[in-house]
Amino acid sequence: MREIILDTETTGLDPLKGDRLVEIAGVEVLNYIPTGETFHVYIDPQRDMPAEAFAVHGLSEEFLRGKPLFPDIIDDFMAFIGDSNLVIHNAEFDMRFINNELKLAGRKPLSMDRVVDTLSLARRKHPGAPNSLDALCARYRIDNSRRVKHGALLDSEILAEVYAELVGGRQATLVLASESRAAARSEKVVVRQRPVPLDRLIVDEEAQAHARFLEGLGDKSIWKDYIAEA
């Protein structure tokens, strides 16, 4: 299952009061595992940067001036997310800004039906506990030491780890490990013969009982890999 972990940075809290997107990033995951494919752009909001917002993400008006406008990156953004679900922490906030920018550009809004809100997941899993991204990192022992300021790409990468924990990602890792072991067992096993066979230590009755036991395990038994061909 393909999903996109998404995060944004903005000039403020309310797009209806003129606040705009200044950064958007996405991390692709397949079955909760990051693939290495990412999307990341800074956006010129064509307005000033309030001191409160700058204190959060450190993106100045001077730094953003001359960066692409949102309409310039829409096609690349839409191509990256495709029809995949969007995984966002406190999703309502980010989606209001994204859909406001799409509206200003004359595009259709994204449906909330495709959004997975990790804040809601965390509140259901840990009721009454702090569920900010930093709090979840602490709970799941995820290293967020690089998170001195908010940044859309870094926060998306961290959220990908948090999301995997929220949905049982460790079990998913175990499944992948099991598949790797199964693949390793499917390889041809080279059985080396001793130059001089060891003396037989079991009686015929025991050998026959063991053979019947192996037959009952089926053709896929791992023991078959260690039986030398006659």
Is residue 218 classed exposed, middle or buried when 0-12, 13-18 and 19+ CB atoms within 10 A define those classes?
Answer: exposed
Amino acid at 144: N
Residue 210 appears among annotated catalytic residues:
no
Helix 133-140 vs helix 152-166: angle between axes, to the nearest 10 degrees? 50
Tokens of 185: 């067992």
Contact yes or no for 19/37 (Cβ under 8 A): no
Pairing type for strands 33-42 and 21-30 reads: antiparallel
Contact (CB, 8 A) for 192 and 116: no
The answer to whether 106 and 133 are in contact (CB under 8 A) is no
Q: Is the dihedral of CA 171, 173, 176, 180 positive or negative?
A: negative
- Rounded to whole angstroms, the Cα distance separating 69 from 105 reads 10
* Of 40, 89, 150, 210, catalytic: 150
Residues tagged active-site: 150
